[in-house]
């Protein structure tokens, strides 16, 4: 069969622009955490938010380099995935918002990741049952991706979303007069407006329920990296690679 090479389109360029905003927001978040109390949390949050967003971009690039989609239904699905990425990017705010259970940023971030991951499972199930080409390679490769990546990711983001939603609802039930987006007062490591050196409040470094959702995202991302490294070094000696993997269609 003739080879059909993929090419960059306007949708791909538009998708990449979200990552420009993500880089800006991640930088702002990291700067907001650069004090003696929050710097370690800021670094871990940076990895926990950058990692899943990078995985989404990588999955999109790899999928586009292997398969060609031209129908309007898949284009609408791509737009829905764009909205999920946009929701996750918008939710990247300064550390004071992300560590506050009553603020919706963490809930929006994890829920956006969950929805995008569910769509990825749908795309791969479609490939498994209806993908055209080398059926054996497509099914074997898709099965590996589902079991090794997309199903664990979806379960991780589901648990993270549940923690974030429960924490958000609990915070507003305990303080029903609180307005949306209002940050709970906390003097830990912050100066009062107009205060001098004596205005710094001391506190212990603590891990709280507000950290659980992004901690789950962080743990999954690290385990996913280890899985990729393991697969890379164990698959080189496997036989019948053509029946197990779909090659990237890049000239």
Each residue of 60-107: pLDDT tens digit? 888 888 887 778 888 899 899 999 999 999 999 999 999 999 899 999
pLDDT surpasses 80 at 232: no
pLDDT of 198 reads: 43
pLDDT of 194 reads: 41
Two tokens, residue 232: 């890379």
CB neighbourhood size of 25 (10 A): 18
201 backbone dihedrals φ, ψ, rounded to 5°: -90, 130
pLDDT surpasses 90 at 219: yes
pTM score over 0.85: no
* Cβ neighbours for 63, distance < 8 A, ≥ 6 positions apart: 123
**Taking residues 160-179, what's their average pLDDT?**
82
More confident position, 15 or 121: 121
pLDDT tens by residue, 177-215: 554 444 444 445 443 334 444 444 444 557 788 999 999
pLDDT of 141 reads: 87
Two tokens, residue 72: 């309007």
Termini Cα distance of the chain: 15
In the chain, which residue ranges form alpha helices assigned H by DSSP? Answer: 10-32, 39-66, 72-90, 95-98, 105-130, 135-145, 151-174, 212-234, 241-244
pLDDT tens by residue, 125-163: 999 998 887 888 888 889 989 999 999 999 999 999 999
pLDDT tens by residue, 5-54: 555 666 677 788 899 999 999 999 999 998 888 899 999 999 999 999 99
pLDDT surpasses 50 at 121: yes
pLDDT of 18 reads: 92
pLDDT of 7 reads: 57
- The C-alpha atoms of residue 12 and residue 53 are separated, in whole angstroms, by 15
Indicate the pLDDT class of residue 230, thresholds 50, 70 and 90. Answer: confident
């Amino acid at each position: 069969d003739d080879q059909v090479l993929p090419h960059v389109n306007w949708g791909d360029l538009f998708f990449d622009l979200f990552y420009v905003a993500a880089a800006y927001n991640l930088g702002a978040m990291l700067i907001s955490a650069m004090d003696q109390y929050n710097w370690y949390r800021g670094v871990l949050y940076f990895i926990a938010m950058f990692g899943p967003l990078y995985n989404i971009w990588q999955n999109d690039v790899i999928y586009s380099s292997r398969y060609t989609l031209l129908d309007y239904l898949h284009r609408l699905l791509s737009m829905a995935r764009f909205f999920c990425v946009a929701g996750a990017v918008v939710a990247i705010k300064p550390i004071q918002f992300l560590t506050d259970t009553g603020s919706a940023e963490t809930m929006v971030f994890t829920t956006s990741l969950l929805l995008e991951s569910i769509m990825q499972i749908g795309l791969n199930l479609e490939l498994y049952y209806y993908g055209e080409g080398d059926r054996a390679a497509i099914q074997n490769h898709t099965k590996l991706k589902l079991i090794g990546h997309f199903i664990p990711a979806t379960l991780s983001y589901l648990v993270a979303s549940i923690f974030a939603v429960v924490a958000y609802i609990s915070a507003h039930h305990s303080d029903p007069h609180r307005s949306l987006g209002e940050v709970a007062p906390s003097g830990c490591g912050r100066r009062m407006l107009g205060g001098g050196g004596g205005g710094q409040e001391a506190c212990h470094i603590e891990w709280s329920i507000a950290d659980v959702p992004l901690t789950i995202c962080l743990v999954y991302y690290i385990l996913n990296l280890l899985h990729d490294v393991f697969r890379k070094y164990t698959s080189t000696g496997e036989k019948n690679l053509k029946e197990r993997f779909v090659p990237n269609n890049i000239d």
